[in-house]
Structure 1
């Protein structure tokens, strides 16, 4: 173990990851430290690396608390929980795992789509409760042939599109830039996309510009026969407007893998979006980490020390494949 190198882990992660880091470095687990101020006063200068994820990253305050921090590694494709401006200012390397869970997330998006339209969870409750003996289950909606709009045609969005093409679904999309080689129809904004599809899938990175991009106008554009699937970030969706639309019948259903204030099923209007959301039968909710699989956790690509040939200042790309401001990141060249 390299005792002189301290690693700060922002939240509990898999036992495998914690064990592997502990073998190599002095791992500090933030959730086990009662007084971070006192701890940083004693140990901050020994911490040279930080490990986080798409929910628990590194804001400006945390970065300032670690004067010798050299690298932030996000166990996620998203970087919205990391203060990239501060990292660039201090020359801190930033790494992420943009491709490690692409298949898992895309698989889950299709699973949520099928489960939401076919009401798999409601059907399971129907059978388990004994209602099958009393009456028939209501008819559900097929996925095959439905028009699908994808918000964010990056790695994950493209993987979702490819899978749903197998169901005979026409694909269209909105992204910050048009992808002329995609073969899919492009719409210049979310409202036009929602107006021209039956299933709207959110697969973009979270920025200030697209916070609550799915608002009342977008939901009404999707309409009472439309379905919303969100596997990106909870803050993309105005949950109060979503619940109102579902209760009032202005939206056909929703499949949510993320919530704005997870793990709490709440929003700014707790009674409506918190307590009611879990009761609506045509909403499917999964835990964010279900995107991860055992194989994705325990079968990392090995990178030996002699394979790290250079460290450059290169543009970081988000989940849509569009560039964010260039910051220092670590780039591995294999072979």
Structure 2
């Protein structure tokens, strides 16, 4: 009797088919894959569907896998639009390999009950390093003077005009989130005076706060934009902000 039960159990195991892992659509390879390698993303818990490797036109490729794609891994080079989501009724998650989400139709995702997640603060240090490096470049005219020398103008035109030091500059930060805070730390260490505007005042910080970006610009020598690109922030830096920077006045 026990042998018969064991035989039945073995037969059941043989007839059981392992469930296919959920499929993740990747329209184009995110830049992060070229840096850390695709093996970092590999897992037996899911399967990548690489649209760029398929010989099929994109619409046919998506139609063929529409019922099995449950998640999308995207980047700025491959936006997730309402039209795309209409072709993929089984999608329940959109993951972006960046901190920003402006390439994702968030309203369309919300309407369909699709969760959206981003890289969070993973790239905050890198973004802050790049921003401060660019500010130093602009003030010290590093790349501009490099072009001047490479074009042979040092010989014909004389010395390139001197740049400006960073210490003592009033630097306004627009958006004091994860990246903005890291920039502020670096600027403070370099002897700058940090000012900021954000959705709300950070009570744990002593930096001067301005509720209006134009007022911030009027009291700053330079601005660093760290806010997310949304319908509310698009075109926020306009001519009024530009012409008021460092001049102590605002036309708004």
- The TM-score with structure 1 as length reference comes to 0.62
1:134-161 Cα offsets, whole Å, 9 max, x none, are 4111111111110010000111111101
Within the candidate set 164, 173, 193, 2:187 is matched to 164
Counterpart in the other structure of 2:89:
67
Counterpart position of 2:73: 51
Q: Would you say 1:128 and 2:150 are equivalent positions? A: yes
Q: 1: CA distance between counterparts of 2:115 and 2:84? A: 15
Output the CA distance in 2 between the equivalents of 1:76 and 1:138.
38
Secondary structure of the residue aligned to 2:25 is: strand
> Corresponding residue for 1:35?
57
Per the alignment, residue 118 of structure 2 pairs with 96
Determine if contact 2:26/2:49 at 8 Å carries over to the other structure.
yes
| Post-superposition offset of 1:181 | 1.4
Deviation by residue 1:231-266 (Cα, 9 ceiling, x = unmatched):
xxxxxxxxxxxxxxxxxxxxxxxxxxxxxxxxxxxx
Contact 1:106 1:157 in 2 (8 A): yes
Please tell me whether the aligned partners of residues 220 and 246 of structure 2 are also in contact (alpha carbons under 8 angstroms): no
Q: Which residue of the other structure, out of 93, 105, 113, is the alignment partner of 2:127?
A: 105
How far apart, in 1, do the equivalents of 2:85 and 2:57 lie? 17
Out of 148, 171, 176, the position equivalent to 2:171 is 148
- Whether the 8 Å CA contact 1:57–1:74 is kept in 2: the answer is no
Please state which structure has a larger fraction of its residues in strand.
1
Q: Matched residue of 2:90: which SS?
A: coil
* Cα shift readout 1:285-322 (whole Å, capped 9, x = no counterpart): xxxxxxxxxxxxxxxxxxxxxxxxxxxxxxxxxxxxxx
Larger Rg: 2
Whether the 8 Å contact between 1:153 and 1:203 is mirrored in structure 2 is yes
Once the 2 structures are TM-superposed, how far is the Cα of residue 54 of structure 1 from its aligned partner? 4.2
Change in 2 beyond 3 A, CA 1:3/1:115: farther
Aligned to 2:221: 198
Query: Structure 1 regions of 5+ residues with no counterpart?
Result: 225-335
Partner of 1:177: 200
Q: Structure 2 matches for 1:1-335, cutoff 5 A?
A: 4-13=21-30, 14-15=33-34, 16-21=36-41, 24=44, 25-33=46-54, 35-134=57-156, 135-222=158-245
Deviation at 1:48, TM superposition (A): 1.1
Aligned residues: 224
CA RMSD of aligned residues (A): 2.2
CA distance in 2: counterparts of 1:194 and 1:111, whole angstroms: 20
Q: In the aligned structure 2, how far is the partner of 1:139 from the partner of 1:180?
A: 39
Q: Report the alpha carbon displacement of residue 3 of structure 1 after superposing the two structures with TM.
A: 5.1
SS in 2 for 1:206: coil
Residue 55 (structure 1) shift = 4.9
In the TM superposition, residue 120 of structure 1 has moved relative to its aligned partner by: 0.6
